[in-house]
Structure 1
């Protein structure tokens, strides 16, 4: 029997609550839904007014994974959708997650949440700039932290304030609040900084996607600033064997992790971290589902400044 629950006056049918979705930890779908109910106040501001794309993994990360921008079949009429014209389909629409009921409906589909750098109310006008720092083995997260610190100084010099979050995979994301700016201009600026980073740190950074160029380096992916691209939404779970989360970290934690690379270590290997930013553990910037509620109590939302207009900088 499929349990029926009520969320903010909406009736939801929740299915397969005992199914294991993250095999290493035995994390069930019911536990995943509980996570989203717990962190709704954190994730919803990052989802509101942004067309969402879903990476669905209904049978866990070892099952079929598929990426969809279109509203899934059976989307309830009370879930908001917004027009997102695409060249191949000028009538296309996407889901917008506005409230806890919509969040829980989407979480029941077993998804990663991905959003663009612009709002549905202003398509292709970015209010965030993003860098995805992706390490190519044997480079890993400590090397990403070194690159993040370099980019932070460069951005601050231009009057822009970056914030860091784990990717939920191997690397790190930088998010920067910007005065609403056309996406092509933001993309061009981000690419310029990525090229500069490669010139400044040639043994550590590449700005090009080609796999042959990425061994032992950090790929500074600037492409997600394009209007058609998306990035893992803050606080989304990722389709991994463990229930990793793309979650914000402090710059002190980034500095502590970067110290591993400065000492010649290669962060990102090993097992469960002793804690984010713990320099004794090379996997220190891995955050799991169970880490988020305590961090919420300690920090609130470290990415809250993204919503403060006075913190947004002008793109040069």
Structure 2
């Protein structure tokens, strides 16, 4: 079955090339990508609502060329919500982009049909009229420099957690779906720069305390065998991969929320690699593990 016309919550969608293999190593097809996103939507949607989305599309699968897309495609259905957001400093010189904002299952299915495997969102939301809000999340993106791996990221994540808890925050954690981990906490701030300032301070502190394990500067020469705490992801112009998004790896891995117990007990990389089918099963058993809780004010 190459094509099909379906109705999703009253929206008519034509799905195309359903038998195209997007993950060749395991034969995972476009139909399976759509099925994954359809089934995971109940826990995915709350993390996308109100957030302008940057897509990473792989029309010929993960081994083919990909491209990032900020502007909604010109052929987007009229019922897909878009919001115009200024993009100062854009590498293409654009003053703004018309982003997709995903708030219903039909939009999720439409994006999956575009082979938008990866969904990336900022740490802020737009209002009902499209105005840019201040960040409501702070994120610490832990990136291992080989030969370090997610195992070393776990040790650093626990250190980040200790600092955040001491500062009155309630951190949650997920895999990046690639090589690292990402620690988040819900926050209440008055200015867009505050989360970046706070995250940078935490990163510098932990790098000073454990220079043999942690770095806070981006220079690759300093990162061999260490974990970079990438605080710069809190820049309002940047995005991180959304919880439950697929990643374009050799297998259909997912940016999967995990428990702190799983982080503490991680001993080998495979302990924290979760594929699409496994994530669906986890959600069926335990629900959404990625609930940042009530926003807290940052210290200082």
Q: Which range, TM-score by smaller chain? A: over 0.9
Aligned match of 1:315: 298
Aligned match of 1:278: none
SS in 2 for 1:41: helix
Residue 250 of structure 1 pairs with residue 259 of structure 2? yes
Q: Cα distance, 1:91 vs. partner?
A: 4.4
Kept in 1, the 8 Å contact 2:55–2:69? The answer is yes
Alignment of 1:106-185 (within 5 A): 106-111=111-116, 112-121=118-127, 123-185=132-194
Kept in 2, the 8 Å contact 1:237–1:289? The answer is yes
SS in 2 for 1:139: coil
Q: Cα distance, 1:26 vs. partner?
A: 1.0
Kept in 2, the 8 Å contact 1:166–1:285? The answer is yes
Aligned match of 2:104: 99
Q: Cα distance, 1:180 vs. partner?
A: 4.1
Q: Over the residues paired in the alignment, what is the CA RMSD in angstroms?
A: 1.2
**Structure 2 segments unaligned to the other structure (5+ residues):** none
Instruction: Count how many residue pairs are aligned between Structure 1 and Structure 2.
Output: 290
Change (3 A) 1:212 1:40: same
SS in 2 for 1:209: coil
Q: Cα distance, 1:61 vs. partner?
A: 1.5
Q: Cα distance, 1:68 vs. partner?
A: 1.5
Kept in 2, the 8 Å contact 1:50–1:116? The answer is yes
CA distance in 2, matches of 1:106, 1:181: 33
SS in 2 for 1:170: coil
Aligned match of 2:41: 40
Question: Residue deviations 1:61-118, cap 9 Å, x none?
Answer: 2101111111123111110001211224444321101100011001111111000000
CA distance in 2, matches of 1:240, 1:116: 22
SS in 2 for 1:302: coil
Q: Cα distance, 1:60 vs. partner?
A: 1.4
Kept in 1, the 8 Å contact 2:53–2:121? The answer is yes
Match of 1:302 among 282, 289, 292: 289
Q: Cα distance, 1:124 vs. partner?
A: 4.8
